[in-house]
Amino acid sequence: MGLEARTVTVTVADLRSLTVREVVQACRVTGVRRAEVAALVDQAMDQYGDPEETARAVDLVWAMAWQLVVRTDPSATWETAKTWDVRVEGAVDEAAEDLDALRVEAAVLAGVPLDQADQITLAQLDAYRVVRTGGH
C-alpha cells in the first residue's frame, strides 16, 4: 500500500501573501516569467481555459503552495511538493487588490514605506497626484 498524497489547501489570499523572493523561487522551478504570474494564477482558477496554459498555471500554483509550506517546514522540497494534492479555495478579492494598488500608489507618490501609506488620506493622495503631474 502506497503513501497517500499530502493535501495542501491554500487560499487566493495566501497566494497573494507571497513575498517577491518566494514568487521568484516559484517562477524559477516552473520556468514561468515573473511578468506572467498574475495571469497564470487567474488561469489556474479558470476551468475552461486553454489546456496548455492551464497546465503551466497549475504548476505555478503548486510551486507557490510549496513556498507557503516552506515558511513553516523549510525541509519541504519541490520534488516532494509535486506529489501533493494542492487545493485552492476562495476567489480573487478585487477589493483587496484595489486596496493594495492604492497603498502602493500612495507610498510611491508620498515617498514613504508601505506601512505608512495607510495613514495618507484620499485628499492628500489627490494632492500628491496633482503635484507629481504638475497640475493645479
Listed in order, strand segments (DSSP E) in the chain are 7-11, 85-89
**Per residue in 24-83, pLDDT tens?**
999 999 999 988 988 888 888 776 777 788 888 889 999 999 999 999 999 999 999 999
Q: Where are the domains of the chain?
A: 7-92, 95-133
The pTM assigned to this predicted structure is 0.69
Burial string for 90-121 (b: 16+ CB within 10 Å, else e) reads eeeeeeeeeeeeebeebbebbeeeeeebeebe
